[in-house]
Structure formats: structure tokens, C-alpha cells
Structure 1
């Protein structure tokens, strides 16, 4: 199967009819869009292609948020998904998307996002195509839960996650939906045949790029001083302040704390809608499980049982997870301190069980 005329090697406003990519197979589908495995025809390199139909203001907003976040990053990071290019298609016409473009097609999407109503001809079919890294190892849930627990993998993953989050926050990006489903695995194999999993933080549809400080337009905004009010994310990974609708990038720290704790102790729950087993820590209240953030919002002084299993964990790791999951965001480390502390734990405390 070949891609339509929406992909081309030229950088002109409207693309040529020569296809640049070839679709191999569908690898994922949801209400937001469809993801394909594809190859670059010239080099045969594998890529992922996400096709998003812009048929509602909600879809347009999610797509633009992802585009704005990924296109704002000036450099690449091994643990953050890389946007190769984004193509905007209307019927049989298409063009490469550029941030801040004055293109009428692009401005119609921006207006749709801002107004919350379709600002273009509803008879036309609008699509956004995102070309990114292809990750052949599935997501973090599928990867870890199909393998035996490994201290080496846990250590590697926590370091990669800490590095990725510090990179995003350094680039003024608050992810707002960190969870194992949104963390993909790429398995790069050496000539000797050994494959090391590399994490890629993905799915930036709920992300927020913080603008410059209101006091000094020349000074970049600190993500830890960029206050947001839209409660969004996935229940089991949302910080207590997100439920209230007043939060900063420290909400990402909380979500990562949930992920790391669940990964280390293999704490899982079954999603009611999909019946999938997912990594995630929570509070047991009778026969029900309650998201940590929701439980801490109701009882900020509640003491979390870390570790949750009989098997103990290193005191440094235990303390760090406790701080990451603090009900008070001010008591959580920022992403830069977190990255440093994770490195120290990995280097000095290789055995977490002592």
C-alpha cells in the first residue's frame, strides 16, 4: 500500500505526486487517529506514520498540541519521539506544516482550535500526517508485562525516563499524560545480536508548551511556574492538584512517580473499559482501587505504603518515590533534581533490595 500524494521530497507549498513513503501495515488505531508502520522509499528506513482526521475541534486541538510541542524542540533526545515532518492534507492538496505558518490551511486549523468550532469547509476532508520514529517493541506496558522482572531493565528505564522528562521540561514542555501506554520501546540490536530497549516518550496531544514570562518577554518561562487550569490526563497517573485544576510541571513528576513505583514492584490493575492489565500504583479502599492522586486529594496526610510488597527496596529509592508522590507539589523534586538523584541511585545503589 502506498501513501497518497500528501508526502513528497520537495519543500514547495503544494507537494508533488511522487510518494515519499510506503505504508507497510496498520499498527494502532483509536478515536484520535490511525498509526502505520512505513518505510522511506529512497532509504528503506522504517518510520511511523500517524494519520489524524481533523473532523472535530477536539481532534484538531489534540493534533495541533502534538505538532506545536514536537516542532518546538530544536534538538533531538534519544528518549523522546522525534517528529520528522508533519503534512497537512485537504482533499487532494497537501503541504508541509511549519510552526507559525501563514498558510490559509494552517490558519483554518488554528482558528478551529481557538474557537472550538469548525472554521473550514466541512465538505472537505482534512488530515494531518505525522512522520516519527518507528518503535518496534510496543509500549512500556506490553514490553514489561511480557517479561520477567529485571533489575537491569528497571534501572535502565528509570534513567531514560528521568533524562527524557528533564529534556522536555528544559524545552518548556509539560507532557500532562505520562503513562506506560504513551512510552514506546525501540529495540536497537548490535551486530553481535544483543538488543537493548530504548524508551521513547510519545503522544503529546495533551501537552502544553509554556510561553515566555509575562514580566520579561525575553526570559523563558519556568515550567514549574507555568500554572495550568485544564484538568486533563489519565486518572491513575494524575496528581492531586490536577484534579483540582491548578497545577504546574510538577504534575509530570507525580505521574512519573506512579510509573516508577509500579515498574519496580510490578504493581498492576485491570482497565475496566479495555480489560487490559496496566502498570500503575493505587490505593485499595475495600474492594475498589482508587487513583493515588484522587486519594491524596481527599486525604493529603495519607501515608503511602512504599514498598507495597513484602520485599523491601533501598531506602534512597523509597524516599525518592515518596517525594515524587507527595500531595504537596512543592515537596516534589523538579525534573532536573530528579534526573540527578536517579543517576546517583543507579550508580551507588545497584542492589535496591538491600
Structure 2
């Protein structure tokens, strides 16, 4: 049985309360809120015995369907074996989800805490200081992201797609290794669309769960009869590398979204331009364009991306 309690703390003469949680016998103290989204919130917590810090993801479920989606996220994290993909430490459910009587349950997922924050945090800091990563460092970081994504695409018994890959969903470990996080949108990669109804359902799901500026073209305009596969993630990967190389730490479609213009039209046009002051090589720009092909059937699979990235790393090393 899961229980939620409160502890009264006195610090520097102030009366404070900190939420206490017990998850499968382990007691945690909530220290701070890290992030909040449409479906969940993430708190920084500390194990009351070991004093180890963790990230606690709380997903509020208004129905059994919501709860099943949250449990599916946990199950998928268990299926993916990669040093570059986040792992579940523990999980539990409290309450009962019932949309009829407006009752909710909450799914707790205990995750590693990465004090270096996200790749987006890191890029923002560098952009403010005009401290751009050397090209070799960008590529080493990027190939780690690719290796994590390969674990999704090689998952058994069938390939998985992350479907919300972006710089904010990549954390940096203590050793500055990239860790793919937030599998809330992850799903079976290969989907056969048969008819307008199925196409509209996938389009609606993408609008709900896939960040607009990293979303692949085929998820904006879903054809009535088509196959959607893991190469949706390759488009997002191209947007990530673009952001890593951008002086403003933004992906190609961030400025369009910020101006209020149509991101869908911009994505479907496939018109990618690099800033005049881009400090990275033509080879790097070509690698980005290799992934940002609007026709998903012309877009590479992750193996080709890793091969090209390693070739570029080798080319840089040969110059030293």
C-alpha cells in the first residue's frame, strides 16, 4: 500500500512543510519541482535513508486508459537496453482512476536525477555566452543520442519510435553523456494506415503528444493509405543536430512558431536554411540535411546516420 505523509521542517527560523512519499517501502522527501507538462510533473526528491537524489515523475490519470498509457511508458523503458536511454528505478500507483465518478489515480515513476539538466539547458547557456561547442564535441554528443535511438529502433519484439525526440528530452549525465528521457509518447514504430479515419486518429495523436517544431512532415499530413515507421524520429534527430549547431540553440522551426506562422506549412515545404554565421562545416550541414528529407521513404534509417556521423568524426580526427 502506498502512503503520502507530511513532514514539518524548521529551517533558519521558518516554518516549512515538505511532502513525504513512501513508494514500495522507500521514503522520499520532495525537494523541488523540476518540470511540469500537460500530462505529468517531475519533482526532485531525496531518499530519506540514503540521501540519494532522484527525479520523481507523477502522472495523474483520469481514466483506466490514462493509467494504462502511464504503465506502458514504464514497460517500454524496461524493454530498451542502452546506456543512453533512461531507466526506471521504481514505480507505484496510488488511488483509483474512474472517469465516471471523477476519481483519479497517480502513477509514480522514480528515475535517475541528472544534475546537469537537459541538452536544451546546456545549449541555451552556451548560446548566451556565445560559447559554441567544437564540431568534434557536437558529433560525439550526437552519436551518443543516435546510439540511444538505435536501441528504440532495434527493440524487440518490434521496433519502437520515441515520437517526441527533442533537445529538452535529452538529459546530460555527470560525465556529459546524452540520456534520452520521457517515453510518454513512445509507441510501436511501424503503423499501417488504412483509410481516412485511421489517418485522422494518428494526426490527432501526434498533435497531442509530439512537439510541433520537432514533428515529422508525415505526422502533419497523414495520408489515408501509407506506412509510418521509425524514420519519424530521424526527422526529429535532424532538428536536434540543427539546434546543436545553431547560434541561438533553436531548431529550424522554432522561429516560425515564435512568430505565429504555420509550422506545418514550413515543415511540409522542407525549406531548411542555415544562418550566415553558422560556425560549423558544410559536412555538418549536409549531415543535417541528410536527415531532414520531407519524404520519409527517402529519409535514412538510424544505421546510416550513425555511419555518416562516425565518418565525419574520423575525418575531423585525421586533420589533427
Which of the five TM-score ranges fits, normalised by the shorter chain? 0.7 to 0.9
Matches within 5 A, 1:100-139: 118=99, 122-123=102-103, 125-139=104-118
Equivalent position of 2:143 in the other structure: 159
Number of matched pairs: 277
Equivalent position of 2:176 in the other structure: 197
Task: Give distance in 2, aligned partners of 1:266 and 1:310.
Answer: 8
Gaps (5+ residues) in structure 1? 9-17, 91-104, 113-117, 189-195, 211-222, 269-278
Contact 2:245 2:278 in 1 (8 A): no
Cα RMSD of the aligned pairs, angstroms, is: 3.0
Q: Deviations over 1:275-331 (max 9, x none)?
A: xxxx2113978x95757763242x4xx5533x4324474343232211200111122
Change beyond 3 A, Cα 1:145–1:68: same
Greater per-residue helix proportion? 2
Change beyond 3 A, Cα 1:28–1:282: closer
Equivalent position of 1:241 in the other structure: 218
Gaps (5+ residues) in structure 2? 1-17, 194-198
Task: Give distance in 1, aligned partners of 2:51 and 2:264.
Answer: 45
TM-score by length of 2: 0.75
Equivalent position of 1:326 in the other structure: 293
User: What secondary structure sits across from 2:89 in the alignment?
Assistant: strand
TM-score by length of 1: 0.68
Given the alignment of the two structures, is residue 282 of structure 1 paired with residue 253 of structure 2, yes or no?
yes
Greater per-residue strand proportion? 2
Matches within 5 A, 1:1-354: 1=18, 3-5=20-22, 7-8=23-24, 18-56=25-63, 59-60=66-67, 62-73=69-80, 75=81, 77-90=82-95, 118=99, 122-123=102-103, 125-147=104-126, 148-151=131-134, 152-171=136-155, 172-186=159-173, 188=174, 196-208=175-187, 210=188, 223=189, 225-227=190-192, 229=199, 230-231=202-203, 232=206, 233-245=210-222, 247-268=228-249, 279-282=250-253, 288=259, 294-297=265-268, 299=269, 303-305=271-273, 307-311=274-278, 313-349=280-316
Change beyond 3 A, Cα 1:25–1:265: closer
Q: Deviations over 1:78-104 (max 9, x none)?
A: 2211111221112xxxxxxxxxxxxxx
